[in-house]
């Protein structure tokens, strides 16, 4: 025990007396371990920590699916759901869900809450019934039953102060009276992030409807049922339904997706790339420490030999060296943990909201264990090798330099190899980051089809009870637009059913008048929008042909429509679309005449292809939920309070929600990519830094090792420039090998990365070339410092002998 303390004290003193060495090793390890701790925390939270459902692997999302039309996971039609519920054999619980935003009134200012309607088996599915109050009963789902609602813990605490007497109290939601019957446990959350849960009651009409898809469905597999078996059973069922409802169900089948997959599937490729990246960073860090230890081992050969001569046994020596390297790696681990915790906070603020469960991101016991493990393993691994090497050397009784030349060169070569590997690995990371940067740059040059600057958007959803018919809905929006236009700073105001670059969409099938009806599997459909006349002017979507909507296109005038260029090209190749007539959507009897063609808009994001789009005037086809858009002179966000007041002035029970600028919506669509990019670039920089420290260390060490040789060369008349070139070439040689290996590695990486790229080849020559240039310059810098030192070697060292 006393010996251990002695070893520790000596190890500590060595670190303190070689602060450069200690700093390089500890910083290397801290960076490597810190990056891993941070990313492991994310992986741990997002991928490893179970979702809040018992037996989560049995919980599935169930989708309608129409592969021939490119709809892999599509919302479920109520008719299909009702048929499944009655006939399926795969699930022990099957639930249909529908999101419903509900306005809470009667408490302060009206607030729009995100609600979820669910069918009867919901709590059988989740396995987490309310902690307070009761779950739903069959009675709650009967037509005409009293409206009941279950609150999440978060809403309960936020809006009702966690009052126990909330049970049984009335709540006004969307002008209807509800009774609170339960509160969910704190750790459970509702799908889609909803705060309220209410029974979903399908009307008799809906239960027959197979063509309109607007439900979510989830199921819990019977125990012992595999996903494959369940999929096969559900597909059999889908074929039966297809046979029964040819007109609506031709081409439709079912797709099952494990809930885990649904939640984290989107983020996983990015996380895998990041995990790979930090793994590489740690490897580079370890190579650095190994290099440092090897270099030090060589300089300590004398000391170790003396200790052996004074009677130290081999085990004793190895123990001392291991104590030292463990001390080093634990110091590195401690700083790494600090760095990691800090990085986790950074990730939390940096992440764009697309990272599932980001708020529960934390350094927990498992992360601590991981960090400790990584530290100890690196310490043992990279301390043991030089330790054994040294202690063996000591036993050969070499107090002189017998045999030193050969072993010295061997370990020098090994260090060269380590550095080449470091260079190669940082090249791979730099290429990865470079490709991401190029992708983002490409993405940002993509024209969204509209001008996002200086536009404020917010949503309004009119409750059916107070706005039961088209006329009243149209009147509200007409009034709102007129009032909003008068606000100071507002240039123009418009309304649209679903704003571009968002998950909101409405897709209607359509037919062209005068063409024979297409068979159901070839049915064409397009994004559909109802807009106010100023929509195109407000978003600056260009008119290509014909005319835009005007105030004259009213409920009573002939029905008109606009289509985008893509639709014009696809549906009317070589024809004039103007004057053609379309039938669309549910009211398929009505015919609209195409009066104009407008520019394409990228509805689903900059990296997604342009879809076919068709527009109708909202005066002719009113809609209860619309997004309002205000183009303002400057600083759209400052207008939000005024806009909110203007709407409340029309209807005091009508809140606005999701107040955002259009630019923010656009930014959010690239945020995930930016997030990955920032982290990847950070890791690539850390890797570059570590590799250059490694290169510096090896060249600097080799210069001290070669002092004698350099002295000899100077004695023979070498000029300083020649010595400089000698050392630079040595460093550049290692770099060259590393670059070559790195290029091979980066080409292989292309396969992993290609899914994350946009508009740039995974073998983009510009990225590769730029990376090589950057790396070479940094390597040259790292080599230059010790090379300069080499030129200052005293020629007299040629005469010195150890």
Partner 1 sequence: MIRLVHVEKAYGHGAARTFVLRRVDLEVRAGEFVSIMGPSGAGKSTLLHVLGMLDGDFTGEYHFLDQAVHAMRPKERADLNRKHVGFVFQSYHLIDDLTVYENLEVPLQYRNVARKERQALVADTLDRFGIVAKKDLYPSQLSGGQQQLVGVARAVIGKPHLILADEPTGNLHSDQGREIMELFRRLNDAGTTIVQVTHSEQNATYGHRIVRLRDGWVERAAPAATAASAPAAGAAAAGPSPSGGSAAAETH
Partner 2 sequence: MSQTATESLIRLDGVTKVFYTDEVETHALSNIKLEVRKGEYLAIAGPSGCGKSTLLSLLGLLDAPTSGSYQLDGKPVAGLTPADRARIRNREIGFIFQSFNLIGDLSVIENVELPLTYRGMKPAERRKRAQEALERVGMGHRAKHLPSQLSGGQQQRVAVARAVAGRPLILLADEPTGNLDSKSGEAVMDLLRELHRDGATLCMVTHDPRYARHADRSVHLFDGRVVDEVSAAAGSDH
Q: What is the dihedral of CA 363, 366, 372, 377, to 10 degrees?
A: -130
Region of residue 579 (phi > 0: left; psi between -120 and 50: alpha; otherwise: beta): left
217, 389, 677, 798: residue in contact with partner 2 (rule CB under 8 A): 798
Shortest separation between residue 9's beta carbon and partner 2, angstroms = 25
Question: What gap in Å lies between CA 394 and CA 403, rounded to an integer?
Answer: 12
718, 725, 740, 752: residue in contact with partner 2 (rule CB under 8 A): 718
Question: What gap in Å lies between CA 643 and CA 663, rounded to an integer?
Answer: 18
- Read off the tokens for 657: 């929600």
Shortest separation between residue 268's beta carbon and partner 2, angstroms = 50
Q: Which does 316 bind (CB under 5 to 8 A by kind): partner 2, partner 1, none?
A: partner 1
* Residues 2-41 close enough to bind partner 1 by CB under 8 A: 2-3, 6, 10, 13-14, 17
157, 708, 788, 789: residue in contact with partner 2 (rule CB under 8 A): 708
68, 137, 575, 719: residue in contact with partner 2 (rule CB under 8 A): 719
Tell me the CB-side half-sphere exposure of residue 267, using CA atoms within 13 A.
Answer: 24
Question: What gap in Å lies between CA 802 and CA 299, rounded to an integer?
Answer: 12
* Residues 540-599 close enough to bind partner 2 by CB under 8 A: none
Let me know: does 697 contact 292? Beta carbons within 8 Å. Answer: yes
Residues 6 or more apart in contact with residue 120 via CB below 8 angstroms: 136, 138, 141, 199
Q: Which does 751 bind (CB under 5 to 8 A by kind): partner 1, partner 2, none?
A: none
User: Taking CA 115 as the corner, what is the angle to CA 110 and CA 121, rounded to the nearest 5 degrees?
Assistant: 150
Residue 733 is a binding residue for partner 2 (CB under 8 A): no
23, 177, 625, 715: residue in contact with partner 2 (rule CB under 8 A): 715
Please state whether beta strands 455-461 and 625-632 pair in parallel, antiparallel, or not at all (unpaired).
antiparallel
| 262 versus 305: smaller Cβ distance to partner 1 | 305
20, 265, 397, 652: residue in contact with partner 1 (rule CB under 8 A): 397
Question: What gap in Å lies between CA 158 and CA 769, rounded to an integer?
Answer: 55
DSSP lists the bridge partners of residue 526 as: 508
* 560 three-state secondary structure: strand
* 344 three-state secondary structure: helix
* Residues 738-797 close enough to bind partner 2 by CB under 8 A: 794-796
| 83 versus 324: smaller Cβ distance to partner 1 | 324
Residue 714 is a binding residue for partner 2 (CB under 8 A): yes
Shortest separation between residue 317's beta carbon and partner 1, angstroms = 10
Q: Which does 719 bind (CB under 5 to 8 A by kind): partner 2, partner 1, none?
A: partner 2
Question: What gap in Å lies between CA 491 and CA 539, rounded to an integer?
Answer: 11
131, 177, 377, 395: residue in contact with partner 1 (rule CB under 8 A): 395
Of 393, 422, 605, which is closest to residue 503 (Cα–Cα)?
A: 605
- By CB under 8 A, the count of residues binding partner 1 is 26
Question: What gap in Å lies between CA 236 and CA 219, rounded to an integer?
Answer: 17
129, 269, 302, 795: residue in contact with partner 1 (rule CB under 8 A): 302
| 152 versus 391: smaller Cβ distance to partner 1 | 391
The single residue listed with the structure tokens 């990371």 is: 429
Residue 713 is a binding residue for partner 2 (CB under 8 A): yes
Q: Which does 137 bind (CB under 5 to 8 A by kind): partner 2, partner 1, none?
A: none
| 314 versus 788: smaller Cβ distance to partner 1 | 314
2, 17, 400, 801: residue in contact with partner 2 (rule CB under 8 A): 801
Of 117, 73, 68, which is closest to residue 96 (Cα–Cα)?
A: 117
Let me know: does 648 contact 525? Beta carbons within 8 Å. Answer: no
1, 406, 556, 634: residue in contact with partner 2 (rule CB under 8 A): 406
Q: Which does 638 bind (CB under 5 to 8 A by kind): partner 1, partner 2, none?
A: none
Q: Which does 708 bind (CB under 5 to 8 A by kind): partner 1, partner 2, none?
A: partner 2
Shortest separation between residue 704's beta carbon and partner 2, angstroms = 17
Question: What gap in Å lies between CA 131 and CA 186, rounded to an integer?
Answer: 9
Eight-class DSSP state of 56: G
Of 408, 342, 331, 400, which is closest to residue 372 (Cα–Cα)?
A: 331
Q: Which does 761 bind (CB under 5 to 8 A by kind): partner 2, partner 1, none?
A: none
| 18 versus 657: smaller Cβ distance to partner 1 | 18
Contact residues toward partner 2 (CB under 8 A) are: 405-406, 409, 708-709, 711-720, 722, 794-796, 798-799, 801
Contact residues toward partner 1 (CB under 8 A) are: 2-3, 6, 10, 13-14, 17, 302-303, 305-314, 316, 395-397, 399-400, 402
């Amino acid at each position: 025990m006393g010996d251990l303390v002695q070893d520790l004290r000596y190890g500590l003193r060595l670190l303190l007396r070689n602060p450069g060495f200690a700093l390089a090793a500890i910083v290397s390890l801290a960076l490597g371990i810190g990056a891993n701790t941070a990313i492991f925390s994310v992986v741990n939270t997002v991928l490893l920590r179970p979702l809040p459902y018992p037996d989560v692997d049995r919980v599935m999302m169930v989708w309608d699916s129409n592969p021939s039309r490119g709809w892999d996971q599509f919302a479920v039609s109520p008719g299909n759901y009702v048929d499944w519920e009655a006939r399926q054999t795969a699930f022990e619980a099957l639930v249909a869900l529908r999101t419903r935003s509900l306005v809470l009134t009667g408490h302060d200012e009206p607030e729009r809450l995100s609600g979820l309607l669910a069918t009867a088996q919901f709590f059988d599915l989740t396995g987490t019934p309310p902690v307070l109050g009761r779950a739903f009963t069959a009675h709650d789902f009967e037509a005409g039953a009293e409206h009941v609602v279950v609150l999440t813990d978060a809403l309960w605490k936020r809006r009702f102060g966690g009052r126990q007497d909330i049970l049984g109290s009335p709540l006004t939601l969307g002008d209807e009276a509800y009774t609170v019957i339960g509160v969910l446990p704190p750790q459970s959350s509702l799908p889609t992030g909803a705060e309220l849960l209410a029974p979903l009651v399908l009307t008799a009409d809906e239960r027959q409807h197979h063509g309109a898809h607007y439900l979510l469905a989830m199921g819990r597999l019977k125990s012992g049922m595999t996903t494959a078996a369940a999929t096969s059973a559900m597909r059999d069922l889908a074929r039966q339904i297809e046979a029964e409802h040819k007109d609506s169900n031709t081409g439709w089948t079912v797709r099952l997706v494990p809930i885990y997959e649904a939640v984290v599937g989107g983020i996983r490729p990015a996380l895998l790339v990041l995990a790979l990246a930090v793994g590489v960073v740690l490897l580079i860090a370890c190579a650095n420490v190994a290099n440092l230890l090897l270099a030090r081992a060589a300089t300590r050969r004398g000391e170790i030999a003396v200790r052996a001569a004074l009677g130290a046994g081999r085990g004793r020596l190895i123990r001392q060296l291991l104590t030292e390297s463990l001390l080093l790696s634990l110091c590195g681990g401690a700083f790494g943990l600090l760095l990691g915790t800090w990085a986790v906070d950074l990730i939390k603020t940096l992440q764009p909201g697309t990272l599932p469960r980001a708020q529960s991101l934390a350094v927990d016991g498992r992360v601590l264990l991981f960090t400790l493990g990584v530290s100890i393993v690196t310490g043992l691994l990279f301390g043991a090798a030089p330790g054994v090497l040294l202690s063996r050397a000591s036993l050969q009784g070499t107090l002189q330099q017998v045999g030193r030349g050969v072993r010295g060169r061997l370990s020098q070569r090994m260090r060269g190899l380590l550095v080449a590997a470091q260079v190669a690995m940082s090249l791979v990371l730099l290429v990865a980051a470079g490709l991401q940067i190029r992708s983002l740059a490409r993405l940002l040059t993509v024209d969204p089809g509209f001008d996002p600057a200086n536009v404020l958007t917010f949503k309004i959803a009119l409750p059916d009870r107070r706005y039961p018919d088209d006329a009243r809905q149209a009147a509200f929006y007409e009034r709102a637009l007129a009032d909003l236009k008068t606000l100071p700073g507002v240039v123009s105001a418009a309304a649209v059913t679903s704003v571009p670059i968002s998950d909101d969409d409405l897709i209607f099938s359509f037919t062209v008048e005068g063409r024979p009806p297409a068979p159901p599997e070839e049915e064409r459909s397009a994004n559909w929008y109802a807009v106010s006349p100023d929509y195109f002017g407000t978003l600056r979507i260009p008119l290509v042909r014909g005319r835009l909507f005007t105030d004259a296109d009213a409920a009573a005038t002939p029905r008109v429509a606009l289509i985008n260029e893509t639709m014009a090209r696809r549906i009317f190749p070589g024809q004039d679309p103007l004057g053609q007539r379309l039938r669309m959507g549910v009211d398929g009897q009505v015919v609209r005449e195409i009066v104009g063609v407008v520019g394409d808009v990228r509805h689903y994001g900059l990296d997604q292809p342009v879809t076919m789009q068709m527009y109708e005037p909202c005066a002719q086809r009113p809609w209860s939920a619309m997004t309002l858009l205000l183009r303002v002179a400057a600083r759209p966000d400052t207008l939000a309070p005024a806009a909110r007041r203007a709407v409340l002035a029309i209807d005091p029970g009508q809140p606005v929600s999701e107040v955002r600028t259009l630019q923010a919506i656009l930014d959010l669509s690239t945020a995930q990519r930016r997030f990955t990019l920032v982290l990847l670039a950070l890791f690539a920089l850390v890797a570059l830094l570590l590799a250059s420290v490694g290169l510096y260390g090896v060249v600097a060490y080799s210069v001290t090792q070669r002092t004698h040789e350099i002295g000899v060369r100077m004695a023979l008349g070498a000029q300083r420039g020649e010595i400089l070139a000698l050392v630079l070439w040595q460093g550049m040689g290692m770099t060259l090998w590393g670059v070559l290996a790195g290029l091979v590695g980066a080409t292989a990486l292309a396969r992993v990365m290609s899914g994350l790229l946009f508009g740039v080849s995974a073998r983009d020559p510009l990225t590769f070339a730029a990376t090589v240039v950057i790396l070479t310059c940094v390597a040259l810098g790292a080599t230059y410092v010790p090379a300069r030192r080499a030129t200052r070697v005293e020629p007299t060292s040629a005469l010195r002998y150890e």
